[in-house]
Amino acid sequence: MFLMEFSITPMDQGQSVSSFVARCVEIVDRSGLDYRLHSMGTVVEGELEPLLQLLQQSFEALQNDSDRISCSVKFDYRRAASGRLTAKVESVEKKVGRQLRK
Amino acid sequence: MFLMEFSITPMDQGQSVSSFVARCVEIVDRSGLDYRLHSMGTVVEGELEPLLQLLQQSFEALQNDSDRISCSVKFDYRRAASGRLTAKVESVEKKVGRQLRK
Amino acid sequence: MFLMEFSITPMDQGQSVSSFVARCVEIVDRSGLDYRLHSMGTVVEGELEPLLQLLQQSFEALQNDSDRISCSVKFDYRRAASGRLTAKVESVEKKVGRQLRK
Amino acid sequence: MFLMEFSITPMDQGQSVSSFVARCVEIVDRSGLDYRLHSMGTVVEGELEPLLQLLQQSFEALQNDSDRISCSVKFDYRRAASGRLTAKVESVEKKVGRQLRK
């Protein structure tokens, strides 16, 4: 299974871009895939193909309004592992030996 | 104020790296800066200089054990804005019109 | 048109990973898309769909040998712009007023 | 030694940002560190501290004109290795068995 973290931003719409982010998070939320939104991006868990589709749909959701769009993505593939949206954080907390801010 | 998201990983220690991540999260936790840990990295809020110090301390915490270390970082600077670890997510939720997974 | 920069690395194969990088660059080279290889990744120019296919093929090329793979990607979309593998660098050189190392 | 790849972009200056990129590349060029500019960023080789200084100076060079700045950075540390701006690419070419576009 893959974790994919992504953030996507129009470059020509001024400094307040949360309405554009909202469109893309809507797409993720409706996809049925498990995800977590944080202050610098969204992490989604799934197989690679539906994750790449989310990227494509996110660009399509912004391309009507923006002529320049920047997007950064990180993938973390681990064979036969799922539930990692929470498991990775719990594993770090266990090593540190106490609850962390999350 | 800056948001800095980072993840740092030794490349030569096999696929289970949470004990190394834990060292760096300890450093963040003890810094007194506000932060959030998620499954793909840690987001910290602060001025630029203490944030860059966290990067330096994180590398130092791994360099005794690892000969190859990879680190990715994203900065989001916004003048005169703080409290954005939670405010950015709330702003997206407000636009979407409902609670999101976070 | 899109520029896509990516790097993909197995996490469980030790610190020398150039033979794995080579497999993915082969895939890019055979795709017919224009690209440039640099020391931290590969930049490819094209439409979004063939670029996402390159990501998928690159993962497939490593998944037989690796159980954990990390990949970072950046997209830069600009409407109606092509030839940007060289044009963006030339534009910066023009502003600086002299040749730069590239 | 470290390789650091970075790109830094004002979010509130419209879609043409090469004059801002030029300021930061000037800073890199004058630092005396070895570097390569490509279409999606700049890769610099050096010890960690001067590299972090480049980040700080780059932000300072944009903060007078921009209220929102985005920056992405990747570090690749390898003990006792230098000259990797060219060596990593050559190593991939050797594995592929022919010259690649760079």
Contact predicate A52/A14, CB 8 Å? no
A102 is written with which tokens?
A: 């999350």
The nearest CA of chain A is from the CA of C90 a distance in Å of: 19
Please give the pLDDT value at position C75.
98
Chain A and chain C share a number of CB contacts under 8 A equal to 69
- Please answer whether residues B42 and B25 qualify as being in contact, where contact means their C-beta atoms are separated by less than 8 angstroms: yes
Residue A18: which residues within 8 A CB-CB, separation 6 or more? B88, B91, B92, B95
* The Cα angle at residue C43 between residues C25 and C45, in degrees rounded to 5: 105
Q: Do B35 and B28 contact (CB within 8 A), yes or no?
A: yes
pLDDT per residue, tens digit, chain C (102 aa), is 999 999 999 998 887 888 999 999 999 999 999 999 999 999 999 999 999 999 999 999 999 999 999 999 999 999 988 999 999 999 999 999 999 999
> What is the reported pLDDT for D14?
82
* E strands in A47-94: 68-78
pLDDT in tens, A3-35: 999 999 999 888 788 899 999 999 999 999 999
- For the domain spanning B2-96, the CATH number is 3.30.70.930
Any CB–CB contact under 8 A between B47 and chain D? no
Query: In whole angstroms, how far apart are CA B62 and each of A46, B21, B53?
Result: 30, 9, 15
> Average pLDDT over chain D, rounded to whole?
95
C78 phi and psi, to 5 degrees? -140, 125
Mean pLDDT per 10-residue section of chain B, whose length is 102 residues: 96 87 95 97 98 98 94 96 93 93 92
Alpha-carbon gap, residue B46 to B84, rounded angstroms: 10
Query: Cβ of A87 under 8 Å from any chain C Cβ?
Result: no
D15 — pLDDT class (breaks 50, 70, 90): confident
* 3-state SS, residue D63: helix
Comparing CA positions, the residue from B47, B49, B59 lying closest to residue B6 is: B59
Angle at C89 between CA C84 and CA C90, to 5 degrees: 95
Q: Report CB contact under 8 Å: B68, C9.
A: no
Best of D43, D58, D73 to mutate (most B CBs within 10 Å, chain B): D73
Position D16 confidence tier, pLDDT thresholds 50, 70, 90? confident
Residue C17: per-residue pLDDT? 87
Q: Confirm or reject contact between C49 and chain A (CB < 8 A).
A: yes
Q: What single-letter DSSP state applies at residue D69? A: E
CB atoms near residue B27 (< 10 Å): 18
Tell me if B71 sits within 8 A of D51, measured CB to CB: no
Kindly give the residue spans of alpha helices, DSSP state H, lying in C1-102.
18-30, 48-63, 84-96
Angle at B44 between CA A100 and CA A17, to 5 degrees: 120
Q: What is the DSSP string of C7-35?
A: EEEESSS-S--HHHHHHHHHHHHHT--EE
Q: Does B12 touch chain D (CB under 8 A)?
A: no
State the pLDDT at residue C30. Answer: 95
Using a CB–CB cutoff of 8 Å, tell me whether B38 touches chain D: no
* CB pair distance less than 8 Å for A40 and B35: no
- State the smallest CA–CA distance between residue C97 and chain D in angstroms: 9
Task: Give D56-80 pLDDT, tens digit per residue.
Answer: 999 999 999 999 999 999 999 999 8
What 3-state DSSP class applies to D36? strand
DSSP-derived secondary structure letter, A102: -
